[in-house]
Amino acid sequence: MIEIIPAIDIISGKCVRLSKGDYEQQTVYSESPVEVAKAFEGAGCKRLHLVDLDGAKSNHIVNYKVLEDIASSTNLVIDFGGGIKSDEDVHIAFESGAAMITGGSIAVKSPALFESWISKFGPNKIILGADAKDKKIATNGWMDNSEHSIVPFINSYLEKGISKVISTDISKDGMLQGTSIELYTELLDQCPGIYLIASGGVASLDDLRQLEEINVPAVIAGKALYEGRITLKDLENENIRTHSC
């Protein structure tokens, strides 16, 4: 059964969603990320994907207080990303309550530093962010494109012990038009040992079923939850179904 991981993206301490990663296309859904997190926990969620969009843009953690507040107010297992570029950022994230951190841009631009975190904290606490447009890895809050093709990029880190990989097709993110089944099928086929966490484009329970059919183990859902395409009751029913299997 596929695990649904709700997402909370933060700008200026508020819960927002972007469209295609465009900071100019943002919608504020709540002034209180903590209350949103509590609602997800109340619907049976065990995990939370928390992204510091200010941090991603600024190249250092900004909204660590939101992480701290959610971690102290819930029992959610939080993976935190956005702006983690230094040992100090990693320290702040874990001290503020993150169970795991997600590194994307840093894995492209400073691989030796990212690998040192894998060695120091263990691969179970480090998630590789492999967000792509046209199968090329994007960095810096998706504002920049790299020349790294997604499959060899992921495989280079699987060889170094990473297993959990969050992959977002940027063209799908926030558009509520379905997920990148073709991309995820390719990753599952060509990246042996990957624990793939799909992200971007989830618009309905049918999208979850399609991901489940190709054996994607986990999926991040954001805008579909905030727009009511997948309700908290739906989420509760899916979590009952998942955790009872």
Write the single-letter amino acid at 21: G
pLDDT class of 245 with cuts at 50, 70, 90 = low
- Are 121 and 91 a contacting pair, CB within 8 Å? no
Tell me the per-residue pLDDT of 152-176, one tens digit each, with 9 for 90 and over.
Answer: 999 999 999 999 999 988 765 555 6
d(CA 228, CA 2): 20
Model pLDDT for residues 141-152, shown as the tens digit of each residue:
445 566 789 999
pTM: 0.91
In the chain, the amino acid numbered 222 is G
Q: Within 13 A of 198's CA, how many CA atoms are on the CB side?
A: 30
Averaged over 223-236, what is the pLDDT?
A: 94
Encode pLDDT of 72-102 as tens digits: 999 999 999 998 999 999 999 999 999 999 9
CA angle 174, 75, 121 (to 5 degrees): 80
Checking if the pLDDT of 238 tops 60, the result is: yes
Catalytic residues, by residue number, are 9, 131
- Please report the domains of the chain, with CATH numbers, ordered by start residue: 3-243 (3.20.20.70)
Comparing 131 with 127, the larger pLDDT belongs to 127
Phi, psi values for residue 100, rounded to 5°: -145, 155
- Helix %, strand %, coil % for the chain, to 5? 40, 30, 30
User: Is 164 within 8 Å of 127 (Cβ atoms)?
Assistant: yes
Measure the CA–CA gap between 133 and 145, rounded to whole angstroms: 8
Q: Classify residue 155 as exposed, middle or buried by CB count within 10 Å of its CB (0-12, 13-18, 19+).
A: middle
Stretch 108-119: mean pLDDT, rounded?
95
213: Cβ contacts below 8 Å, ≥ 6 apart:
none
